[in-house]
Amino acid sequence: MEAILKQLPQQLVNGITLGSVYALIALGYSMVYGILQLLNFAHGEVYMIGAFIGWGVFALLAPQETLLLPAPVLILLMLVLAMLGCGLLGVVIEWFAYRPLRDAPRIAPLISALGVSFFLQNAVLLTMTARYRTYRTGLLIPRTWQVSAFGATISMTKILVIVVALVLMVGLRYLVQRTRLGKAMRATAQDREAAAMMGIDVDRIIVVTFFIGSALGGAAGVLVGLLFTQVYHFMGFTAGLKGFTAAVFGGIGNIPGAMLGGLLLGIIESIGSGFISPTYKDLIAFALLILVLIFRPNGLLGAKVPQKV
């Protein structure tokens, strides 16, 4: 018990860091689901490609052990380019794989999404090979930069991850709640047809939603690259499933819910892997997903939606 209590603060820190990444991924799922009631399986792959774009920018601008740009600028550039690239990728996926199927039976876009996910994974495998690519995070943020508090050490990288995630989420919250575009997005999520009748260009809103959701996924990819330093073609599958778990946990289609779900999932997973066994950390997350869906399918913050006939 003593040992457990001693470890707890560290596991909490790890959990919150991981959780803020999950929250970013979950937002992409949740926003798309909120508007289209579509499960975008390919979102995990978008996140993976974001991590690879970040790695590419890094490798290009830090060819040897020297940085061509100051570290903060480089990090910002990695984030921005990954977000732009992934946002565009999300729009392209929507355009080719989902838009033609908008009125098809529900099973069709799901299978299409599965195909996109598999295709992207193997496209990256083909072009980047199965080798693990390394983010040399030590070049950007020296490992010695860390804070100790309450028996936990918090590295600068973790602080960066949490801060970036927080900034992005606050920005998204502002966009959705305070701007005209956000209003249109909320209206479209509530009732697509009615929104269209009110003069909202629904197709444009859907494209924007895919762009923002995928951009957040791309940012999550770069953050994970900085945090765990290794990226590979298969990383998106598990992460995507985790992000979906987080989204469902908080209540899918609900933006604060996705944030809360992500944080909670990260904390539960960290504590679980610390106290039970790291081997089963994915298992804990998936078991949680199944339990939530069976006992509270609307998630923590989700409202009960009557079935439309």
Partner 1 sequence: MSTDFQFGTDEWVAQEEARRREAEAAGRLGFRLRRAWDRIDPRLRLLAGLALAALVPFVVHNDYHLRVAGFTGLFISLSLGLNVVAGFAGLLDLGYVAFYGIGAYSYALLASPHFHQHWPFWLVLPLVVLISALFGLVLGSPSLRLRGDYLAIVTLGFGQIAGILFLNMDRVNLPFLHLDRPLNITGGPNGIINVDDIRVLGYTFDNVTRYYYLILIFTALILIAIYHLDRSRIGRAWRAIREDELAAQTMGVDVRRLKLLAFSVGAGVAGATGVVFAAWQGAVFPPNFDVTVLIILYSMVVLGGVGTVWGAVSGGVILSILPELLRNPEMARFIFYGALVLGILFAFRRRKLSGLALLGGVILWGLAVKALLTWLRPAWLTQPQIPASIAQSFYAPLIKALNWWMVHPLNSQGVGNIAFAVALGLLLVAYRFKARFQYALWVPALYALTFVWETRLVQEPSITRMLIFGALLVLMMNYRPQGLFGQRRVQRQ
Strands 230-231 and 133-134: antiparallel
Return the residues of window 143-182 that contact partner 1 according to CB under 8 A. none
Comparing CB distances to partner 1, the nearer of 175 and 241 is 241
Asked if 107 touches partner 1 (CB under 8 A), the answer is yes
Site string for partner 1, 40-79 (x = CB under 8 A): ----------------------------------------
Phi/psi of residue 234, nearest 5 degrees: -100, 0
Q: Determine how many CB atoms are found less than 10 A away from the CB of residue 54.
A: 30
In the block, tokens 């005209």 appear at 180
Helix ranges (DSSP H) in 179-233? 180-190, 192-197, 202-228
Asked if 208 touches partner 1 (CB under 8 A), the answer is no
Which of 68, 114, 166, 170 forms a contact with partner 1 (CB under 8 A)?
Answer: 114
Return the residues of window 5-44 that contact partner 1 according to CB under 8 A. 37-39
Asked if 116 touches partner 1 (CB under 8 A), the answer is yes
Alpha carbons within 13 angstroms on the beta-carbon side of residue 136 total 15
The answer to whether 212 and 88 are in contact (CB under 8 A) is no
Which of 70, 115, 151, 171 forms a contact with partner 1 (CB under 8 A)?
Answer: 115
In the block, tokens 């693990």 appear at 132
Q: Which part of the chain contacts partner 1 (CB under 8 A), choosing from 47-55, 76-84, 114-122, 166-174?
A: 114-122
Asked if 203 touches partner 1 (CB under 8 A), the answer is no
Comparing CB distances to partner 1, the nearer of 221 and 240 is 240
Which of 149, 279, 304, 306 forms a contact with partner 1 (CB under 8 A)?
Answer: 279
Asked if 294 touches partner 1 (CB under 8 A), the answer is yes
Return the residues of window 213-232 that contact partner 1 according to CB under 8 A. none
Which of 46, 216, 248, 267 forms a contact with partner 1 (CB under 8 A)?
Answer: 248
Give strand pairing partners of 153: 148
Which of 125, 163, 166, 194 forms a contact with partner 1 (CB under 8 A)?
Answer: 125
C-alpha 77: how far from chain center: 19
Q: Which amino acid is at 128?
A: M
Q: Spell out where the chain has E strands.
A: 133-134, 146-149, 152-155, 230-231
Asked if 111 touches partner 1 (CB under 8 A), the answer is yes
The span from the CA of 24 to the CA of 67, in Å, is 28
Cα torsion at 218, 302, 248, 50 (round to 10°)?
0
Assigned token pair, 67: 């940085």
Asked if 97 touches partner 1 (CB under 8 A), the answer is yes
Q: Which residue ranges make up the site for partner 1 (CB under 8 A)?
A: 37-39, 92, 95-97, 100-101, 104-112, 114-123, 125-127, 237-238, 241, 244-245, 248, 279-280, 282-283, 286-287, 289-290, 293-294, 297, 307, 309
